[in-house]
Amino acid sequence: MANEIPFPLYHKNARKNTIQRALDTTLFFLLISLLFYRLLSLKTHGFVWLLAFLCESWFTFYWFLIVNAKWSPVDIKTYPQNLEPRFPELPTVDMFVTTADPVREPPIMTVNTVLSLLAVDYPADKLACYVSDDGCSALTFYSLVESSKFAKLWVPFCKKYKVQVRAPFRYFLEDPISISAPNFEFKEEWEKIKVEYEHLCLKIKEASRKSALCNLTHDFAVFANIETGNHPTIIKIIGENCEEDVPHLVYISREKRPKYRHHFKAGAMNVLSRVSGLMTNAPLMLNVDCDMFVNNPQVVRQALCQLVGRESERDMGFIQYPQCFYNATKDDPYGNQMVVLMEYIGRGIAGLQGPPYAGTGCFHRRKVIYGVWPDNAASINDYEAMKEFGKSEEFLESATHALKGEKGIRKSISDYLEASFQVAACDYEFGSSWGTKFGWIYGSMTEDVLTGLNIHKKGWKSNFHYLDPPAFLGCAPTGGPAAMTQQKRWATGLLEILVSKSNPIVFNLTGNLQFRLYLFYIYLLSWGLTSVPELCYAALPAYCIIANSHFLPKVQDPAILIPVAIFVTYNMLTLREYLKVDLSFRAWWNNMRMARITATSAYLFGVLTIVLKLLGLSDTVFDVTQKNDEASEDEDDDEINGTAKFTFDESPIFVPGTTLLLVHLTALLSLCLGLRPLVHKDAQGSGVGLGEVLCSLWVVLCFRPFMKGLFRIGKYGLPSSTIFKSTSLALVLVCLGTASWA
């Protein structure tokens, strides 16, 4: 009792998981049983049986990895009220916002994110907000300048009335009487600020329609004749905290030149860390995407509960908050809200060394980003090691202070403006270790996962923290093209890590990565690889019908109970997970079918991209996901009503799914017309059976959105070019299947 801390900051408690473990283990042993059955009967069957065995071997291994990740869930309880009694001098925090395209990421969205960060429940003089604009947009800069004026009204209002939702576009959706106790002063201020916000939105909208914003004079002159991929560094101090009421606000557009690689978001984050290191040098850093606003104003204090204190300083590298979405469509029709994934796998890996870095909604230690190992400060005074940070003497000095854990915010950030231009130059990293040994690590489009892996390799831990209400809310992709583009980018980036020297196999041999977290990273990085067995297994029923073969035991064979038990157990287990987190049966089904669609389309193209890259025939291209402006005037009625139809475009990403559907429809039609017998008499019962027919119907059911797309027009219908390509491929595959039977 004498050793207990009087003011605890957080507790991590193991969650009871008996039923879940039993179900997961049962399914695993059923999968093992099916593999043994396949092996014992492999000699009496042909290629189809072998292909099924290989696919099922992958599924069994993959399920083992999933069970490993889910096995040890924990709950984290924080006590922010104990922060100041233990640490009267709270640490400073630098907040980073990244945006790259003013068209796909509307500036009003970035503005709301920035305003929510400026208004968090934390001393304003201990905060600084840096916005990285990789699109080098005068419109984005103009929007931030105007929002900084509005922030002088918004931030005091939020703190005075303890506003819960501090992104204006969400806050003003509600009636003021339902938000706070109705009193004249509050209502008068509420109406005044709402008018000011509407005026801000109007000015930004009008500016976006002008061909020459503000005639590009004064502060905007630097944007004259700017090329997005070829321009000098632009750094503007929009708001400097002189009166200690609103945090610093700094705009940064790093230098870009065609002959230099800019490393996408990872490069932008490294520039942010260097510029902020010069200006404010806060020991803690928060980064969010431009579409992810603060939904819980206590989030900084909540994160600090796990980052400050002797024990936390020793081993806690970063705090990751789950991604939640404010534009979540009813029943998750595109399967991209990841609620169940976060709930079960997220909590499970929080019980291990910790979750991976997810790229947004994450609090980092600056010294961890700078490459420090736990309990190791030996290299802090090593001048040769410090030279790896680059050639700026001012930055080397700030990095030395950061590595020693010294305090951050300085008296005037404008004093370091000139030095900031140097560290934001595109040639600054030459001869340094940025992007290789420390900072955001280069080499993958999923730089977040690679950076987190690099941190975990050194032995640092992380935590996955759920808050109620959620800490941040973001914008989920809506529509098939946006969802598929995002999934393809993830699959490509994860596979880039898997085939690189940074893969976890090497890390596990040379670093301090815990074995079970190593298994989790194998699961995560293998998302794209699932496309190959998924596609093969999904095509097997149609092939068997066309070629008059079978890959399942016959109905009269007792062994048929094994695949039936697997099918029933898996679907009941996953349905239970969805119902336990208050999701509907429809949401479960949407996610199940989207898992099949994504694996056989987006993930497949991710694999093809990596193969072409390895062969030197192509390089990866970062596609910015289209974000929907919350104020969009052309929002569809079905999306407003909380439902959504699957949408398509002319991207080749929809060709594999359409082809697979057409092959199955052809196989079933040929069976119905009597062109293929249900059992091939001469093969002693070796022909197609009922199992293959039911599986084919299941695949068609999973790809029902594609079947609807065959008969719809506009964005809800499959383009004629996609149908033509898919029909041609389907005919070739059907002919090959028919030839194999003949």
CA nearest to 186, candidates 201, 199, 200, 175: 175
Q: Which amino acid is at 315?
A: D
In this prediction, residue 590 has a pLDDT band, given cuts at 50, 70 and 90, of very high
Per-residue confidence (pLDDT) for residue 440, from 0 to 100: 97
CA nearest to 531, candidates 66, 55, 64, 70: 55
Output the CA torsion 25→31→37→39 (10° steps): -110
Per-residue confidence (pLDDT) for residue 311, from 0 to 100: 64
Reported as a single tens digit per residue, the pLDDT across 438-487 is: 999 999 999 999 999 999 999 999 999 999 999 999 988 888 888 899 99
Instruction: Look up tokens 């509600």; give the residue.
Output: 174
H or E stretch covering 735: helix 720-741
- Identify any residues that bridge with 98 across adjacent strands, giving them in sequence order: 132, 289
**Rounded to an integer, what is the distance from CA 93 to the centroid of its chain?**
23
Cα Rg of the chain, angstroms: 28
Residues 195, 157: contact at Cβ < 8 Å? no
Reported as a single tens digit per residue, the pLDDT across 68-107 is: 999 999 999 999 999 988 888 899 999 999 999 898 899 9
Domain chopping of the chain, boundaries: 81-323+358-476
- Mean pLDDT across the stretch 393-412? 79
Phi, psi (deg, nearest 5) at residue 239: -140, 120
Instruction: Look up tokens 């009003």; give the residue.
Output: 108
Neighbours of 643 (CB within 10 A): 13
Give the C-alpha separation, 356 to 346, whole Å: 9
Phi, psi (deg, nearest 5) at residue 492: -65, -50
Annotated catalytic residue, options 24, 101, 121, 134: 134
Reported as a single tens digit per residue, the pLDDT across 4-55 is: 556 788 888 999 889 999 999 999 999 999 999 999 988 888 889 999 999 9
In this prediction, residue 682 has a pLDDT band, given cuts at 50, 70 and 90, of very low
**DSSP code at position 398:** H
Token pair recorded at residue 96: 């980073």
Q: Is the pLDDT of residue 582 over 60?
A: yes
Token pair recorded at residue 684: 């002693």
338 in helix, strand or coil? coil
Per-residue confidence (pLDDT) for residue 243, from 0 to 100: 64
Lowest mean pLDDT among 32-41, 324-333, 673-682: 673-682
Give the C-alpha separation, 573 to 125, whole Å: 50
Residues 280, 248: contact at Cβ < 8 Å? yes
Per-residue confidence (pLDDT) for residue 43, from 0 to 100: 84
Burial track 339-371 (b if 16+ CB lie within 10 A, e otherwise): bbebbbbbbbbbbbbbbbbbbbbbbbbbbbbbb
Residues 476, 333: contact at Cβ < 8 Å? no
Token pair recorded at residue 447: 């730089």
Instruction: Look up tokens 């065959």; give the residue.
Output: 710
Query: What are the angstrom distances between the C-alpha of 181 and each of 161, 178, 195?
Result: 10, 8, 20
CATH class of this structure's domain 81-323+358-476: alpha beta
Angle at 549 between CA 547 and CA 553, to 5 degrees: 160
Lowest mean pLDDT among 150-159, 178-187, 388-397: 178-187
Average pLDDT, the chain: 88
Neighbours of 189 (CB within 10 A): 16
pTM above 0.85?
yes
Give the C-alpha separation, 181 to 179, whole Å: 7
Lowest mean pLDDT among 214-228, 339-353, 356-370, 476-490: 214-228
Q: Is the pLDDT of residue 427 over 70?
A: yes
In this prediction, residue 684 has a pLDDT band, given cuts at 50, 70 and 90, of very low
Neighbours of 592 (CB within 10 A): 17
**Bridge pairing between strands 248-253 and 362-365:** unpaired
**Bridge pairing between strands 472-473 and 293-294:** antiparallel
Is 448 known to be catalytic?
yes
**Bridge pairing between strands 316-320 and 461-464:** parallel
Neighbours of 736 (CB within 10 A): 12
Give the C-alpha separation, 658 to 710, whole Å: 9
206 is in an annotated binding site: no
Residue that wins the pLDDT comparison between 630 and 345: 345
Per-residue confidence (pLDDT) for residue 385, from 0 to 100: 63
Residues 250, 275: contact at Cβ < 8 Å? yes
Per-residue confidence (pLDDT) for residue 635, from 0 to 100: 43
**DSSP code at position 220:** G
CA nearest to 493, candidates 532, 455, 442: 442
Instruction: Look up tokens 């056989």; give the residue.
Output: 600
Annotated catalytic residue, options 101, 332, 448, 629: 448
Angle at 642 between CA 321 and CA 640, to 5 degrees: 105
Proportion of the chain in helix, strand, coil states, percent, rounded to 5: 55, 10, 35
Per-residue confidence (pLDDT) for residue 630, from 0 to 100: 47
Neighbours of 4 (CB within 10 A): 6
- Mean pLDDT across the stretch 602-616? 92
Q: Is the pLDDT of residue 334 over 60?
A: yes
Is 134 known to be catalytic?
yes
**Bridge pairing between strands 362-365 and 461-464:** unpaired
Phi, psi (deg, nearest 5) at residue 412: -140, 115
CA nearest to 157, candidates 122, 202, 192: 192
Share of the chain above pLDDT 90, in %: 67
Reported as a single tens digit per residue, the pLDDT across 268-325 is: 999 999 999 999 999 999 999 999 999 999 999 999 999 987 666 678 999 999 999 9
121 is in an annotated binding site: no
Instruction: Look up tokens 């109905």; give the residue.
Output: 555
Please report the beta strands in 215-269, taking only residues with DSSP state E, as ranges in sequence order: 234-239, 248-253
Per-residue confidence (pLDDT) for residue 6, from 0 to 100: 67
Per-residue confidence (pLDDT) for residue 330, from 0 to 100: 87
| Cis peptide upstream of residue 469 (ω within 30 degrees of 0) | yes
What strands, in cross-sheet order, belong to the sheet with 362-365? Answer: 234-239, 248-253, 127-133, 93-99, 284-289, 362-365, 316-320, 461-464
Instruction: Look up tokens 């799914």; give the residue.
Output: 657
Per-residue confidence (pLDDT) for residue 401, from 0 to 100: 86
Q: Is the pLDDT of residue 378 over 60?
A: no
In this prediction, residue 631 has a pLDDT band, given cuts at 50, 70 and 90, of very low
Residue that wins the pLDDT comparison between 254 and 241: 254
Residues 473, 606: contact at Cβ < 8 Å? no
Who's near 589: CB < 8 A, 6+ residues apart? none
Share of the chain above pLDDT 70, in %: 88
Residue that wins the pLDDT comparison between 311 and 133: 133
397 is in an annotated binding site: no
Q: Is the pLDDT of residue 1 over 50?
A: no
627 is in an annotated binding site: no
**DSSP code at position 431:** T
Q: Is the pLDDT of residue 114 over 80?
A: yes
In this prediction, residue 244 has a pLDDT band, given cuts at 50, 70 and 90, of low
Token pair recorded at residue 289: 């995407």
**Distinct helix (H) and strand (E) counts, the chain:** 30, 12
